[in-house]
A = this chain, B = another copy of it.
Amino acid sequence: MENVKYPTRDQWSQLVKRPVIEASNLNALVEEIFEDIRSLGDQAVIKYNLKFDGCRVADIRVSTSDIAAAGRLVSEELKRAIQVAKLNIEKFHQQQREPVAKIETMRGVTCWRESRPIERVGIYIPGGSAPLFSTVLMLGVPAVLAGCKEIILCTPPNADGEIPPVILYTADLLGIDTVFRVGGIQAIGAMALGTESVSKADKIFGPGNQFVTAAKTVAQQYGVSIDMPAGPSEVLVIADSTARPDFVAADLLAQAEHGPDSQVMLVTESEDLADLVITEIQEQLKNLPRAEVIRQSLNHSKVIILEDLKSCVDFSNSYAPEHLILAVDRPSELLPSISNAGSVFVGHYSCESAGDYASGTNHSLPTNGFAKSYSGVSLDSFLKKITFQEVNEDGIRLLGPVVELMAQAENLYAHKNSVTIRIKSLQNEY
């Protein structure tokens, strides 16, 4: 980790820059696969399943009996853990419902908004070294709570067409029974365009590698929306001298473990703590299986020493971390001044892993500085809020002249006329 002591504020803009990601242009490949899916549907998907994942299975949909059977392959204690996490995530997301509040902005003019589920959502769960059933919870729970009519889950199969049982178990627990053994570009293409088996989604969610990311970007051109821009995972820890070096080191290592492109930042007012954390990282690293990934990630990570906690918070706001851990004595004093972050972990016992899995908050969060303008996934991500207005006779009499004046000043005379004709009709009644 690079160790930077007391940088000036001018230097911050360099320090908050993320490692540059090799932006390979995959658009041509994506367009080719999408075109194939558009003309051949499921057959194209099956072809790419074979080509990219070596999977020969002819039926891309996982049968309901396979889903039901998966539960027998998951240990009871893991099932109980998943159920606890599900309950907590439900509790937290359930309370994000917005009550309908009608407001009479003027006499006879009533405005309100109501939430409606996005009807068809697609959830992508990456494959790879581990079955990411936690992401099934994080995207599936709010989708179910929102009342989405169709929830489609795509995840890559192995060569035998199998999906990890714990992913199927988790989907089943949420009542999601539309699961496809399809990964990568072909999964996003199927959900963006629709095939005989896969419904066209209105919005696609979920993490993924560069192929999935490129496909999600292209999907937007087909009228599909996506959850948020992609980027490597990251954490920033603000620590004071009361922080435990072993806790902080463990948190940094947990984030670094995600992938070689993850970034971890320690920002502290205590040089002593920084030194202790660096030592502790080396110590803990010895016992971790993904040490090689972690080393690569630490190579472009930083320890930054600043004058005081206020500067640490300012720096963090400038970085806008996906995850922010406040390993300080009185964290609540810092909260009002935190302006940019995806999710904040308050105090020494609030480790990021808690939120990654089971505390209730969502782990799908904006990275790469997008926490400046994006929120993480929430119940809202699966809803639209439609505005309504009811203007009655009194309302058009009162508000109408205002609208007429404004429309005329914008040279929109047909707009004006739609009001005038209504006001006149009321005058004629007398």
> Which residues of A approach B to under 8 Å, CB–CB?
77-78, 81-82, 84-85, 87-88, 91-92, 95-96, 98, 101, 103, 105-106, 109, 111, 113-114, 116-119, 129-134, 166, 202-203, 220, 223-225, 229, 244, 246-247, 250-251, 253-254, 256-258, 284, 287-290, 294, 331, 335, 338-362, 368-376, 378, 380, 383-393, 395-396, 399-403, 405-407, 409-419, 421-422, 425
Contacts and interface: CB of A to CB of B under 8 A. Distances in A.
A98 B98 contact: yes
A247 to B, nearest CB: 6
Contact of A395 (B349, B369, B400, B422): B349
Contacts of A399: 84, 88, 354, 358-359
Given A390-B347, A402-B85, A250 B414 contact: yes
Nearest to A137: B406
Copies in the complex: 2
A417 B255 CA distance: 12
A403 B251 CA distance: 14
A117 to B, nearest CB: 8
A286 B349 CA distance: 73
B391 A246 contact: no
A353 B402 contact: no
A390 B350 contact: yes
B118 A373 contact: yes
A412 B130 contact: yes
A272 to B, nearest CB: 19
A418 B353 contact: yes
A198 to B, nearest CB: 17
A95 B91 contact: no
A88 B105 CA distance: 5
B368 A223 contact: yes
A155 B78 CA distance: 58
A354 B78 contact: no
Contacts of A96: 113
Given A101-B95, A349-B393, A357-B402, A421 B343 contact: no
Given A111-B361, A357-B407, A361-B111, A345 B389 contact: yes
